[in-house]
C-alpha cells in the first residue's frame, strides 16, 4: 500500500484530522551537525502504524483509490476540515471517474463480506441460529449497509464521520486502557503477596518500594514544548549550538515531510530525549508501557497549548505564537507519571470486583463444560455397552442357527450360500 500522502493531511486531514497524517518519525538519534539556514535534512522513513480502527485497512484503501482521481484530489486540496466533516466533500464523489468508482464498489463489497464473516464467526461461537446477518450489519457505522454492492457519496460521508468520531475518542480509549493496565499490575502484585509468608512478603514489599524510589531518581524532565525542552533537542538530537536556537529553523528542521505542519507523530518524536531521562528498557524498574503513556500525555499537552484551531496539526504560525507566551520561557514543572496518582483505592476495588466477577463466571462456565464432558462420556459409555450387548446378541443368534443347521446370515439378511435342491 502506498505511503500516506502528506498532501492529504495538509489539505484537510482527509477522513479526520489524523487519518492521512504522514507517519514519518523524526530520526532523533541522527546527528544533524550542520544546518545551513533553513535547509531541510532528509530523514529515514518508517512504515505507517495502524490507526487502531477495526476498519483501518478499508479506510486506507479508500483513501488510496480516491487519491488516484485528479478531480477529487484537486477538490481535496482546496477543502478545509469543516467541509470534510460536514459531508460537503463527499458530494464530489459523483464526479470521479468510472474506473475509480468501480474500484470503490469492489472495496465496499469486500468489506461487507469481511464484516459478514466476522458476524458469522461470532454467532457460530455461541451456536445461535435464525439470526438475520443483514440486520446485524447496522452495528457497523462506517458504511451504508442497506446498499452492500456499490460505494456511494453516503458511504464516504459515513466513513469520514465515523473515523472522525472514533479517532477523536482514540486517545481517551488509550488512557482508559492504560489505567486498567496499571490497576491490573497492582491487583496481581497484591494477590501475589497474599500467597507469601510474612517474611517473604516483607522482602517483596521492600523490593517494590526500592524499585519505585530508583525509578523516581532521574534528571529533571523539561516541560514539553518549553524553550528548555526544545533547546535540548536542538543541541543533543540535532547537534546544533544552543546559543543559535531559532524557533523558525527548529520548526522547519522537524517538519520532516516538509508539508508546513508538525503532526502528532513529529511532535511525539521531540519528546524522546525527555523520556530517555526516565525510562530505560534495560532497567527492571522502568515500564515501557508507562513510557508510551507519558509520550501521549506530552503530545496532548503541547497540542492543547499550541494547536489553536484544534485540527491536530501545528502550523508555523501557531508554533511561533506559542514561543511568545510566558509559559514557553517560564514553564511550570512537569509531573511525570510516577509523581501522580493514577487511580484511587475505590477505583481499584471496583476493578477487582469486576475481575472477581469475571473469574466467577469463568469458573461456572468451566464447571458446566466439565459437566457436559462427563455427560458425554457417560453417554458414550452407554452406547459402547449397548453396542457390546447387541454384538453378543447377534453372536448368540448366529450360534443357535449353526446349531440348528441354518447357514449364517450376511449383514443384509441374505444367506451366504444356497442349499442344494
Residue 398 CB partners (closer than 8 Å, separation 6+): 408, 409
DSSP reduced 3-state for 83: helix
Task: Characterize 350-362 residue by residue with b for buried, 16 or more Cβ atoms within 10 angstroms of its Cβ, and e for exposed.
Answer: ebbeeeeeeeeee
CA atoms of 59 and 143, how far apart (whole Å): 11
Query: Distance from CA of residue 185 to its chain's centroid?
Result: 21
- pLDDT at residue 13 in the model: 42
Would you place residue 125 in the very low, low, confident or very high pLDDT band (cuts 50, 70, 90)? low
- Structural contact between residues 278 and 294, judged by C-beta atoms closer than 8 angstroms: yes
Minimum mean pLDDT among 8-17, 156-165, 258-267, 268-277: which range? 8-17
pLDDT exceeds cutoff 50 at 355: yes
Q: To the nearest 10°, the Cα dihedral for 322, 264, 316, 69?
A: -150
pLDDT band, very low/low/confident/very high, at 151 (cuts 50, 70, 90): confident
Query: What is the grid cell recorded at 122?
Result: 461470532
The widest CA-to-CA distance across the chain, in whole angstroms, is: 124
> Is 402 in contact with 415 (CB distance < 8 Å)?
no
| Residue 128 DSSP symbol | -
The kind and range of the H/E element at 314 are strand 314-315
| 44 confidence band (pLDDT: 50, 70, 90) | very low
Task: Look up residue 364 and give its three cell numbers.
Answer: 461456572
Bridge partners, residue 262, by sequence:
314
Q: What is the DSSP letter of 148?
A: -
Degrees, nearest 5: CA angle 10-11-12? 95
CA distance 76 to 13: 9
pLDDT over 60 at 400, yes or no: yes
* Strand partners of residue 26: none
- Is 51 within 8 Å of 59 (Cβ atoms)? yes
pLDDT digits (tens, 9 = 90+) for 283-299: 999 999 999 999 999 99
Share of residues in the chain with pLDDT > 70 (%): 75
Rounded Cα–Cα distance for residues 88 and 86 (Å): 6
Summarised one tens digit per residue, pLDDT across range 51-72 is 566 777 888 888 888 888 888 8
- Residue 2 confidence (pLDDT) above 50: no
Average model confidence (pLDDT) across the chain = 79
Cell matching residue 307: 494547536
Lowest mean pLDDT: which of 120-129, 142-151, 412-421? 412-421
**Other Cβ atoms within 10 Å of 171 Cβ, number:** 16
342 Cβ contact list (under 8 Å, min separation 6): 179, 182
* pTM score: 0.59
Outline where 147-169 has alpha helix (H): 153-168
- For 355, the grid coordinates are 475481575
Please report where in the chains the cell 489539505 appears, as a residue. 11
410 band by pLDDT with thresholds 50, 70 and 90: low
Does residue 127 or residue 341 have the better pLDDT? 341
pLDDT of 378 above 80 = yes
Determine contact, residues 312/300, Cβ cutoff 8 Å. no
Instruction: Inform me whether the pLDDT recorded for 411 exceeds 70.
Output: no
The pLDDT-based confidence of 345 (bands split at 50, 70, 90) is very high
Write the pLDDT tens digit of every residue in 73-99: 877 777 766 666 666 777 777 788 888
Parallel, antiparallel, or unpaired: how do β-strands 314-315 and 261-262 relate?
antiparallel
CA distance between the termini of the chain: 85
Q: Which residues contact 283 (CB under 8 A, 6 or more apart)?
A: 214, 215
Amino acid at each position: 500500500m502506498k505511503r500516506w500522502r502528506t498532501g492529504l493531511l495538509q489539505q484537510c486531514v482527509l477522513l479526520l484530522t489524523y487519518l492521512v497524517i504522514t507517519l514519518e518519525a523524526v530520526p532523533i538519534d541522527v546527528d544533524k551537525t550542520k544546518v545551513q539556514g533553513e535547509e531541510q535534512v532528509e530523514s529515514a522513513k518508517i512504515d505507517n502504524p495502524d490507526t487502531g480502527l477495526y476498519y483501518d485497512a478499508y479506510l486506507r484503501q479508500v483513501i488510496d483509490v480516491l487519491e488516484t482521481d485528479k478531480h477529487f484530489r484537486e477538490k481535496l486540496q482546496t477543502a478545509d476540515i469543516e467541509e470534510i466533516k460536514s459531508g460537503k466533500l463527499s458530494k464530489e464523489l459523483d464526479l470521479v471517474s468510472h474506473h475509480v468508482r468501480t474500484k470503490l464498489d469492489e472495496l465496499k463489497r469486500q468489506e461487507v463480506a469481511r464484516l459478514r464473516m466476522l458476524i458469522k464467526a461470532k454467532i457460530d461461537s455461541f451456536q445461535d441460529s435464525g439470526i438475520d446477518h443483514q440486520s446485524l450489519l447496522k452495528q457497523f457505522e462506517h458504511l451504508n449497509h442497506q446498499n452492500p454492492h456499490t460505494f456511494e457519496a453516503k458511504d464516504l460521508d459515513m466513513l469520514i464521520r465515523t473515523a472522525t468520531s472514533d479517532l477523536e475518542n482514540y486517545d481517551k480509549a488509550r488512557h482508559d486502557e492504560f489505567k486498567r493496565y496499571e490497576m491490573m499490575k497492582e491487583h496481581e502484585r497484591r494477590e501475589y503477596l497474599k500467597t507469601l509468608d510474612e517474611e517473604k512478603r516483607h522482602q517483596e514489599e521492600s523490593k517494590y518500594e526500592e524499585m519505585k524510589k530508583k525509578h523516581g531518581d532521574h534528571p529533571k524532565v523539561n516541560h514539553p514544548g518549553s524553550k528548555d525542552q526544545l533547546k535540548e533537542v536542538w543541541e543533543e538530537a540535532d547537534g546544533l549550538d544552543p546559543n543559535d536556537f531559532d524557533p523558525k529553523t527548529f520548526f522547519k528542521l522537524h517538519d520532516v515531510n516538509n508539508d508546513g505542519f508538525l503532526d502528532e507523530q513529529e511532535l511525539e518524536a521531540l519528546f524522546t530525549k525527555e523520556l530517555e531521562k526516565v525510562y530505560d528498557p534495560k532497567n527492571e524498574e522502568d515500564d515501557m508501557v508507562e513510557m508510551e503513556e507519558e509520550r501521549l500525555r506530552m503530545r496532548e499537552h503541547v497540542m492543547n497549548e499550541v494547536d489553536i484551531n484544534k485540527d491536530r496539526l501545528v502550523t508555523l504560525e501557531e508554533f511561533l505564537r506559542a514561543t511568545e507566551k510566558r509559559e514557553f520561557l517560564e514553564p511550570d514543572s512537569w509531573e511525570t507519571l510516577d509523581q501522580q496518582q493514577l487511580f484511587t483505592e475505590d477505583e481499584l476495588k471496583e476493578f477487582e470486583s469486576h475481575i472477581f466477577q469475571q473469574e466467577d463466571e469463568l469458573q461456572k462456565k468451566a464447571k458446566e463444560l466439565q459437566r457436559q464432558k462427563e455427560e458425554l462420556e457417560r453417554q458414550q459409555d452407554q452406547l459402547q455397552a449397548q453396542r457390546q450387548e447387541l454384538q453378543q446378541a447377534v453372536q448368540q443368534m448366529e450360534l443357535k442357527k449353526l446349531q440348528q443347521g441354518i447357514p449364517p446370515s450376511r449383514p443384509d439378511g441374505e444367506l451366504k450360500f444356497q442349499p442344494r435342491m
